[in-house]
Structure 1
Amino acid sequence: MSKLVDQFQRKFEYLRLSVTDVCNFKCTYCLPNGYHREHKKQFLSLVEISNLVQGFAQLGTKKVRITGGEPSLRRDFVDIIETVKNTQGIEKVATTTNGFRMAKSVADWKAAGLDAINVSMDSLDANMFHQITGENLLTRVMAGIDAAFAAGFSQVKVNTVLMKRLNAHELDTFLAWIKPRNIQLRFIELMQTGDNHALFQAHHISGSVIMKQLINQGWVEKVRQATDGPARVFCHSDYSGEIGLIMPYESHFCDSCNRLRVSSLGRLHLCLFGEQGTELRDLLQTSEHSEALQQRLMEALKTKRASHFLQQGELGGTVHLASIGG
């Protein structure tokens, strides 16, 4: 039973754990100028990760998503998966990746205990993929998705940031692509951060526009499960795949929040937006600090706000999405 419950009676059984803020892509909405290290600190070690996840698990956390930056850039990524998977109480381990190393390594990730995988892929057109990500690697990412199915993943989730005048016109192409494939295609609204105001103004499109199109085409919304992420998921009897919509500007988006974030430097973030975080790293050096760690987590959760208030124009302290794992 979860002990991580906030003042609005939301239960937090889902941890998004960043293990690096390094990324080798240059996505226009995240790191358009590429990654530049802004700190001298080392990322969380395997021991620190183990102690952190154990603390969360003892408070009722059941699902951990390993994120970045690009998490597979860590040489010990397989060890991280195994460590999280072998933590008592953790029922599901997932990751989000840009797909750069999937074709070569996804079978090893599966063998290490990875249960679910999300791939960021913003276009099915090679030129548009290159324009958005800064890398001409669509064929390589697509091969990685095929490799994931071959490795035994029954479903692959694909994250697509939908942007007008860039890739929004590809909706029908994406739908045709998932018709014979068990892919949950998740359209994510472009979110405004501290450094992308002009991009947001030029390219933001509301997920509600896509939702209306889907409903008109016979798509039906599925019931949300307790440890699901923020997507509203739709299915169609003619399709093997599904559509997920992540709409952070929707008025009640935060009502079902069930996840907390820890950055690659060991700071707890109660929200992707809005606050500077709570230091945890001093309690991660040994398992003997587990009780103090859990107490600090519960105390911090008391300050979680009802909403990120993005719809009121608040941006919070998030400079870019790679900084705390998106």
Structure 2
Amino acid sequence: MIDKYGRHVTYVRLSITDRCDFRCTYCMAEEMTFLPRQEVMSLEESLQVAQAFVSLGVSKLRLTGGEPLVRKNVMWLIERLGALPGLENLVLTTNGSQLDRFAAPLKAAGVKRLNISLDTLKAERFQAITRIGDLSKVLRGIEAATAAGFQRTKLNTVMMRGTNDDEFVDLVRFAVEHQLDISFIEEMPLGEIHGRSKTYISSEETREMIGRHYELIPSTESSGGPARYWRIPGSESRIGFISPHSHNFCDSCNRVRVTAKGELYPCLGQNDALSLLPVMRANGDEAALRQAIVDSMGIKPFGHDFTQQMNNPQVVRFMSMTGG
């Protein structure tokens, strides 16, 4: 798949649920209204979408949510995706709360890597950010992932001034000690959440802060996503920065997102989407589904402008609705 700007789309982020067992303040409203079951793609439909993308040349598929591991019978889907011919890289983003029981089955099913959201190492602060989360469960999940044989597991930390900016060095230290990667993510203006302009921190500021404690060497490595990596001498850990505000990465964008209700968003920071669910449910025609996906390349914009949207977001859907 090639968009009108000549960019090859080889990476799909597929949400399989909008539900989550956390209520992170930057991702959801405290009182969320979730999709009715009939509006959510079935596991069979999720598999059909994945098969169509892979047949069109997609080599990397990331399962997201919400929290993907709260989806009933999720392993049915993951086992089939892991065996999908042509899919080189099946990965999963999770909050880690379910990994103590799912890490080993995920590894056996063919999941290559895990991204685990972790914004703080302080239990009370963790509960405040997630509203209902238990840090100890996530830490057990990280241990379970390592015990199951996962390598290059990556922590994802959303940077929030006045909330967790005093822990960035501690989080890097934790990653290094546990042989994990870590990416620091600039907060994105998705959903009507007030006060973001006051909590925003740039990647440069965080990198300078970490650089006062660790030597950071720029790296040309890529994990196939938007993170730009740095290395610490003597450590295998990669320190990444995802910078949709300060270092717009749209010129090399290779990905699209599919929501749990089958909406294909060619750009996270725009509202244009193409609904795949009616195509699948109309006649189950695989050729029609593939053509709809190809047609979506025509609405993939060159990029977004999150900086201008910080105080007045154009995208009012929450991150959990789009797919993390």
Question: What TM-score results when the alignment is normalised by the length of structure 2?
Answer: 0.93
- Alignment-derived partner of residue 323 in structure 2: 325
Find the counterpart in structure 2 of residue 316 from structure 1: 314
C-alpha contact 2:169 2:210 (8 A) present in aligned 1: no
Instruction: Decide whether the 8 Å contact of 1:23 with 1:35 is kept in 2.
Output: no
Q: Tell me what 1:211 maps to.
A: 207
Q: Is the 8 A contact 1:25 1:34 kept in 2?
A: no
Structure 2 vs 1, CA of residues 233 and 34 (structure 1 numbering), >3 Å: closer, same or farther?
farther
Q: Name the counterpart of 1:57.
A: 54
- Alignment partners' CA distance in 1, 2:189 and 2:316: 9
Q: Which residue is 1:21 aligned to? A: 18
**RMSD between aligned residues:** 1.9
Report the counterpart of residue 34 of structure 2 in structure 1: 37
Moved more, 286-295 or 124-133: 286-295
Tell me the equivalent position of 2:232: 236
Cα 1:182–1:234, aligned 2, differ >3 Å: closer, same or farther?
same
Give the unaligned 5+ runs of structure 2: none
Partners of 1:287 and 1:178 lie apart in 2 by 48
1:272 and 1:318 in contact (8 A); partners too:
no
Note if 1:176 corresponds to 2:170: no
Counterpart-to-counterpart distance in 2, 1:74 and 1:136: 18
Select the residue among 233, 239, 242 that pairs with 1:246. Answer: 242
C-alpha distance after superposition, 1:199-219 (max 9, x if no partner): 302211111212334556421
Alignment of 1:1-326 (within 5 A): 4-39=1-36, 41-196=38-193, 198-214=194-210, 217-225=214-222, 228-285=224-281, 289-313=285-309, 315-326=313-324
Q: Is the 8 A contact 1:274 1:315 kept in 2?
A: no
Counterpart contact for 2:100–2:141, Cα < 8 Å: yes
Q: Which moved more, 1:214-223 or 1:5-14?
A: 214-223
How many positions carry a matched residue from both structures? 321
What's the offset of the Cα at 1:285? 4.8
User: In 2 relative to 1, CA 257–306 (structure 1 residues): closer, same or farther, beyond 3 Å?
Assistant: same
Q: Are the aligned partners of 1:149 and 1:155 in contact in 2 as well (CA < 8 Å)?
A: no
Q: How far has the Cα of 1:316 moved from its partner?
A: 3.1
Counterpart of 2:154 in structure 1: which amino acid? K
Secondary structure of 1:114's aligned partner: coil
**Distance in 2, Cα, partners of 1:232 & 1:115:** 20
Shift, 1:130, TM fit: 1.1
SS at match of 2:12: strand
In structure 1, C-alpha distance between the alignment counterparts of 2:104 and 2:167, rounded to whole Å: 30
SS in 2 for 1:79: helix
TM-score normalized with structure 1 length = 0.92
Name the % identity: 32
- The 8 Å contact of residues 95 and 138 in structure 2, kept in 1 or not, is answered as yes
* Partner deviation per Cα, 1:142-190 (whole Å, 9 max, x = no partner): 0100100100101211111111111011122112212232211111111
Distance 1:287 1:124, change over 3 A: farther
2:163 aligned counterpart, secondary structure = coil
Comparing 274-283 with 157-166, which one deviates more in the overlay?
274-283
CA offset digits 1:104-153 (Å, max 9, x no partner) = 22111111111111111110111111111112511110010010010010
Q: C-alpha separation between the residues in 2 aligned to 1:103 and 1:316?
A: 38
Alpha-carbon deviations, 1:22-45, whole Å to 9, x = none?
111111111141432254634212
Would you say the 8 A contact 2:14–2:257 is kept in 1? yes
Gaps of 5+ in 1: none
Tell me the amino acid that sits aligned with residue 236 of structure 1: I
